[in-house]
């Protein structure tokens, strides 16, 4: 059932022309992961490598995020990984408001089908969208928040975007890499508590 819904959504996104990003994308990046994943990871938008191969978070910053997830005991294979918009904005700019609005039904449908317990909101754009705030990721990260979609509650944990971590590579305590690892470890602990044997 979930697989059917997500498979149809994926086909729809791959031939979608609901916003101007369709004109410049090579491949839509619908997302990947188990259809019954207990957690989702939602970034901002695909980059160049993702656009080329149609897979999320596989470029330099994605590899850094994946290695931190692995270190935190939260391997990416256990999560459903996607972005706020499914097509790459030119020059890797942030998605525009009208592009976010046009693509929002895909994300909402993904959440409704997967029904995750937890969403990792990666970077400013998803953190602000999920938490309905204009605050930045620096003040939002480090905590769990409750969100809701059509009476279905789930937790949100905002984390720094890995492209920011690439520009701030220090692994000293208190620096972005170290606090992101701590956020991912907290996410893993939350899932372990909620799902015995996770």
Interface contacts to ligand SF4, rule CB under 6 A: 13, 16-19, 21-22, 28, 85-87, 99, 102-103, 106
d(CA 44, CA 83): 5
Nearer to ligand SF4, 65 or 85 (CB): 85
- Please give the structure tokens belonging to residue 138: 């620096």
List the beta bridge partners of residue 41: 81, 120
- State the minimum distance, in angstroms, from the CB of residue 142 to ligand SF4: 30
Q: Residue 17 or 144: which CB sits closer to ligand SF4?
A: 17
- Distance, CA of 16 to chain centre: 20
Based on CB atoms, which residue is closest to ligand SF4, 101 or 135? Answer: 101
In the complex, least distance from residue 123 CB atom to ligand SF4, rounded to whole angstroms: 16
Cβ proximity to ligand SF4, 21 vs 140, nearer residue: 21
Closest CA to 25 of 37, 16, 12, 35: 16
- Cα separation of 18 and 75, whole Å? 33
Q: At its nearest, how many Å lie between ligand SF4 and the CB of residue 126?
A: 14
Q: How many CB atoms lie within 10 A of CB 164?
A: 18
The Cα-based distances of 6 to 71, 91, 92, 111, 164 in angstroms read 29, 29, 26, 10, 30
The CB-of-46 to ligand SF4 minimum distance in angstroms stands at: 9
Would you say 5 or 18 has its CB closer to ligand SF4? 18
**Residue 27 C-beta: closest distance to ligand SF4, Å:** 10
């Amino acid at each position: 059932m979930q697989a059917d819904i997500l498979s149809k959504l994926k086909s729809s996104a791959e031939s979608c022309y609901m916003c101007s990003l369709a004109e410049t994308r090579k491949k839509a990046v619908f997302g990947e992961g188990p259809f019954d994943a207990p957690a989702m990871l939602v970034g901002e938008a695909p980059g160049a490598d993702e656009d080329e191969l149609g897979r999320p978070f596989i470029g330099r910053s994605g590899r850094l995020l994946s290695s931190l997830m692995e270190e935190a005991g939260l391997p990416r294979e256990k999560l459903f990984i996607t972005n706020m918009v499914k097509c790459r904005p030119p020059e890797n700019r942030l998605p525009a408001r009208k592009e976010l609005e046009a693509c929002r039904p895909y994300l909402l449908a993904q959440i409704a089908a997967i029904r995750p317990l937890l969403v990792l909101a990666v970077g400013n754009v998803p953190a602000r969208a999920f938490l309905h705030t204009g605050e930045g990721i620096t003040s939002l990260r480090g905590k769990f928040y409750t969100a809701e979609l059509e009476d279905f509650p789930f937790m949100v944990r905002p984390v720094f975007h890995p492209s920011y971590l690439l520009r701030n590579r220090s692994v000293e305590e208190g620096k972005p890499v170290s606090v992101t690892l701590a956020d991912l470890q907290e996410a893993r602990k939350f899932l372990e508590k909620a799902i015995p044997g996770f």
